[in-house]
Structure 1
Amino acid sequence: MTLASKPGFWRVAQRECRWLLHDRVALLLIFGVPLFAFAVLTTVFSQPVIRGLGVTIVDTDKSDTSRALTQHVAASPSL
């Protein structure tokens, strides 16, 4: 009767690396998809402030409070 070799961390890591090198889909899912997502999100959020968006207020209430709010938004320099 022979003793089974101890699995150990490095043997498991070697086995997983061999499996990963032979399975191209897993390699793509583990490394390709996160890198692609990182690139897309970096591009999207590279500008700190979005400018040039218009603001539209639809005042169906026609009360004094809604008119005051509309005037306040219209007078705001940041909008």
Structure 2
Amino acid sequence: EMEEGCLSIPQINEKVTRKEWVRVRYQDMDGKECELETDGLLAVCIQHELDHLNGRLFIDHISPLKRERALKKYDKLQKRG
């Protein structure tokens, strides 16, 4: 479990449970197929960014109650400017 935040929901941070490691296949800038296996912060970042590609935010991984509180806090911050 690691605390995450996102520029999509500024100033909101919540603990999110994710896989400890990931293996991803991708193409580099030259179109060469590559594979990366990693853990720790990089694994969390990869999962976070893949979520964006799939239309999800980190708050989609927390409980409904925590999500509701986070969104209320975000709304208050937005109203303050």
- TM tier, smaller: under 0.3
TM-score (norm: length of structure 2): 0.25
Give the structure with higher Rg (CA): 1
Which structure has the higher relative contact order (CA within 8 Å, separation 6+)? Answer: 2
User: Which of the two has greater helix per residue?
Assistant: 1
User: Which of the two has greater strand per residue?
Assistant: 2
TM-score (norm: length of structure 1): 0.26
